[in-house]
């Protein structure tokens, strides 16, 4: 099941954008441009409509989110009974990424959590 609309954060690269749920799921993404067909569309239905998720294994006891100052870099902190981990989602502007990366997700500062993707 998709999140409430207020539980989504936006990441983008000026050519397209994705909605990232508080649960670590990308539930909406048109690729490679805003007017392209959706490749992830769980926002409009269920996970069967396409999504990509990174989240801790087990019960999440708390989440918090923030954007890094003056950016569309979204940081989601997951807390579980075993520890905490930060998920960082962003899309670098195309043509500026030396490794050809179009969307990036990274973990930072984790302790005691195991995650699935």
For residue 17, what pLDDT is reported? 93
32: preceding bond cis by omega (within 30 degrees):
yes
For residue 83, what pLDDT is reported? 86
Average pLDDT over residues 74-86: 90
What is the distance between the alpha carbons of residues 91 and 8, in angstroms, rounded to a whole number? Answer: 16
For residue 63, what pLDDT is reported? 95
Ranges of each domain in the chain = 5-116
What is the distance between the alpha carbons of residues 86 and 60, in angstroms, rounded to a whole number? Answer: 13
For residue 28, what pLDDT is reported? 94
For residue 109, what pLDDT is reported? 62
For residue 101, what pLDDT is reported? 57
Tell me 68's DSSP state: P
Helix (H, G, I), strand (E, B) or coil at 110: strand
What is the distance between the alpha carbons of residues 27 and 37, in angstroms, rounded to a whole number? Answer: 14
Q: Tell me: the pLDDT tens digits for 26-76?
A: 999 998 899 999 999 999 988 888 998 888 888 999 999 999 999 999 999
b/e per residue 52-75 (b: at least 16 CB within 10 A): bbbbbeeebeebeeeeeeeebbbb
Q: What percent of the chain has pLDDT over 90?
A: 48
């Amino acid at each position: 099941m998709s999140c409430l609309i207020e539980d989504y954060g936006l990441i983008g690269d000026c050519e397209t954008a994705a909605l990232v749920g508080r649960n670590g799921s990308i539930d909406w993404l048109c690729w490679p441009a805003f007017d392209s067909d959706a490749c992830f569309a769980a926002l409009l239905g269920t996970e069967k409509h396409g999504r990509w998720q990174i989240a801790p294994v087990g019960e999440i006891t708390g989440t918090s989110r923030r954007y890094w100052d003056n950016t569309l870099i979204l940081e989601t902190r997951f807390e579980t009974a075993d520890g905490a981990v930060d998920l960082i989602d962003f899309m670098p502007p195309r043509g500026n990424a030396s490794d050809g990366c179009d969307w990036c997700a990274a973990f930072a500062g984790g302790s005691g959590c195991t995650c699935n993707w």
